[in-house]
Amino acid sequence: MTSTLDPFLEATRLLVDVWGDARAGAGLSRAQLVAVNDALGVVKRTADAVHAEVAARVAQESRPELGPGSLARQQGFRGAVQLIATTTGAS
């Protein structure tokens, strides 16, 4: 059985591989810069996909009809949108 995290974990492994031994971005060759940029794109897309799944579940657990039992309210937020926006830094 595969996990929702498998594509994300594979993307991070790819990033580690293409980063190589550089201590910082300044130590990357031009070829590495291109490869790291591509790998970061995959990491971001896969992280966004995982977050979309989690956000859908947060929304489900934060339905208004749950009242005080709402996940978002129990965490001190008005609703799922505020919870997610606050924790991700989005507006």
Helix, strand or coil for residue 76?
coil
The pLDDT of residue 1 is 72
d(CA 91, CA 86): 8
| Predicted model pTM | 0.85
pLDDT bin (cut points 50, 70, 90) of residue 90 is: confident
pLDDT above 80: residue 70:
yes
Q: 36-56 pLDDT, tens per residue?
A: 999 999 999 999 999 999 999
Q: How far is CA 79 from CA 12, 49, 50, 63, 90, in A?
A: 31, 21, 20, 8, 15
- Separation between Cα atoms, residue 56 and residue 45, nearest integer Å: 17
